[in-house]
Structure 1
């Protein structure tokens, strides 16, 4: 018998339990080919296969709360009740294979309206698509993209409500987890960073004011989703002088937990082009900082960042850097990575789908 694996142990989240501590990180696939935000059969197959592959929690890619909030025209969306049905089909496929299903709701802010980051398209940040109106906390452009308009108070109110309504639709579609996208240089992150937010009203200036937009969204989403799991993804550092750093993110994390957030998904960067020390597990120390900051609560912390083996993921957990591990790029080409990792770390037949037991690796 192989020893028990922490990675493949059940994990409680608020009122539900994931079968293991492996998350599929939300990664845009730019596959809403009709440009209407609807999930397609391709999305159902893509996410369903990762559920068969053994992930415990699957978070569907960035899903826009409004049409103008899409990163590209081919992004998923939950800005319309008519989009619920297609999402429900996807969620049922994930649930049928034993995984929890979440969705990341998002608004791209000044980084909206770009080309899909797919082979054969122009580079995503070579320009804003014609006819796309960008909004942001301040009229400061992301390099290579159009200058955004500054959001006024009424528009901010409308966006808070848009996040709440998207979350309501996600719950109607059956999701277990709603993740608010506050990372990677998109709208919420733009409010949080002093490099992109130079407002002088209640949404700018002090650190507390800069997180006000996010706190309002969290409160509205929590009200909309009831007892479902609420997660926020954060960029813990901008990797740029004068921007967000880990200490500021830890303070934000504490505030979020006080407002009912159950899970903090810790990433980094994306606000501006930066020199990032990318390497295996390079963001795990940031997750560890956040975990220490919220250690007195029930909140869970998800670590991510070039984690490419089960042993690496297991070490992140047993050393206390995080409570769960999110896998991204590895899962794009290997939807069954969790099954392979389980074979090395635990008894593979305990996680292998019954239909696949003859394929257990020697």
Structure 2
């Protein structure tokens, strides 16, 4: 199917331009800019180029921007001094300018709050002395390589997420997203492959949610009642694409229901290809199942507008129509659509899609993205 021949031309605006409520926030349309790590913030400080980067996409019609992952205030949270941090006077001042510019352009914005956990290697910046920490000191491949978190460690990380969320509301953001996907710290607690604890934070799927639940509860207590809290989750992990949190809808419900009860307002279900069904016997994708099981709004993501082959390995991708995506939105399988590489390649992607100008869309060319402006 070619984009030029797509039947979506007359439908896109009607379906995508509908507002949607996330707790007390009204997002003007169904398009989300997905979080994408860029490493363009020396010293963890988002500069004027970062301000422009997000403002351009808001001005082109993206309803909600979720920022690249940004580290909470814990020494073991990160792996680079060029990835932004969400703590520190200079860092937060930079982020405040980002939020202000996005609002001036008509958009809404949330920071993605992040701790990498056992993905960290010893000696990495921004705090080289900090150890890698996780639920059981295990890396994604099952090998040992760090420190199992004590109760004091857990309490410190929970507090760091809450402090970052409070800061986000204070400096003008519209909500927060908690990064509970892709094999990073929160996900390491959720996944049996990395959580071998025998205390209250390990064991069955519900027990493995306790760390995430405590973070959600702490964040919820740190912000106002109407401030949205979004939780991003995935089955797959970085470099472990076949990993799964849940083999059945019942197992997925065991993970998501406690999070919804704790105060999650929406779930961002990360998949590599949104059109693939998640479980046998149903066409629902992961976001569709999350919505069905929790009743919360959901965001789908994964190769929107692009036909990915080896693009996840840094190669390019051709264009893919969005008729099937619009069909799913129209029947309320999920509520919003996050777009990553397509909007990274083309800042005007949203404006073109909302206007039905599909013939102007650009294929994804990883080699051309030198400045990611």
Q: Could you state the TM-score of these two structures normalised by the residue count of structure 2?
A: 0.79
- Residue correspondence of structure 1 range 34-113 to structure 2 within 5 A: 35=43, 37-65=44-72, 66-113=74-121
The structure-2 alpha-carbon separation of the partners of 1:115 and 1:91, relative to structure 1 and needing over 3 Å to count, comes to farther
Please, which runs of 5 or more residues in structure 1 have no aligned partner?
Answer: 117-127, 269-277, 347-362
The structure-2 alpha-carbon separation of the partners of 1:85 and 1:242, relative to structure 1 and needing over 3 Å to count, comes to closer
**Partner of residue 350, structure 2:** 338
Is 1:30 equivalent to 2:39 in the alignment? Answer: yes
> 1:301 and 1:48 mapped to 2: Cα distance?
24
- Residue correspondence of structure 1 range 255-294 to structure 2 within 5 A: 255-268=258-271, 279=273, 281-282=275-276, 285-294=285-294
**Partner of residue 25, structure 2:** 16
Question: For the aligned residues, what is the CA RMSD?
Answer: 2.7
> 1:203 and 1:340 mapped to 2: Cα distance?
47
Alignment partner of 2:177: what SS? strand
CA contact under 8 A between 2:274 and 2:301: conserved in structure 1?
Answer: no
**Partner of residue 323, structure 1:** 335
> 1:129 and 1:263 mapped to 2: Cα distance?
32
> 1:251 and 1:237 mapped to 2: Cα distance?
17
Please, which runs of 5 or more residues in structure 2 have no aligned partner?
Answer: 1-8, 279-283, 306-320, 359-373
Question: How far apart are residue 244 of structure 1 and its match?
Answer: 3.8
CA contact under 8 A between 1:102 and 1:179: conserved in structure 2?
Answer: yes
> 1:154 and 1:338 mapped to 2: Cα distance?
45
Question: How far apart are residue 216 of structure 1 and its match?
Answer: 0.2
Alignment partner of 2:39: what SS? coil
CA contact under 8 A between 2:123 and 2:130: conserved in structure 1?
Answer: no
CA contact under 8 A between 2:142 and 2:194: conserved in structure 1?
Answer: no
Question: How far apart are residue 245 of structure 1 and its match?
Answer: 3.7
Alignment partner of 1:69: what SS? coil
Deviations 1:219-268 (A, max 9, x none): 00011121211100011456546754453333322222212211100014
> 2:113 and 2:101 mapped to 1: Cα distance?
20
CA contact under 8 A between 1:311 and 1:345: conserved in structure 2?
Answer: no
> 1:156 and 1:130 mapped to 2: Cα distance?
20
**Partner of residue 313, structure 1:** 325
The structure-2 alpha-carbon separation of the partners of 1:179 and 1:345, relative to structure 1 and needing over 3 Å to count, comes to same
**Partner of residue 255, structure 2:** 252
Deviations 1:164-208 (A, max 9, x none): 011111112211020011001000000000000001011111212
> 1:113 and 1:39 mapped to 2: Cα distance?
24
Is 1:228 equivalent to 2:227 in the alignment? Answer: yes
CA contact under 8 A between 1:237 and 1:245: conserved in structure 2?
Answer: no
Alignment partner of 1:183: what SS? strand
> 1:251 and 1:336 mapped to 2: Cα distance?
40
> 1:114 and 1:341 mapped to 2: Cα distance?
44
**Partner of residue 119, structure 1:** none
Give the counterpart of 2:168 among 159, 167, 170: 170
CA contact under 8 A between 1:81 and 1:169: conserved in structure 2?
Answer: no
> 2:122 and 2:69 mapped to 1: Cα distance?
14
Question: How far apart are residue 209 of structure 1 and its match?
Answer: 1.4
Give the counterpart of 2:301 among 301, 304, 313: 304
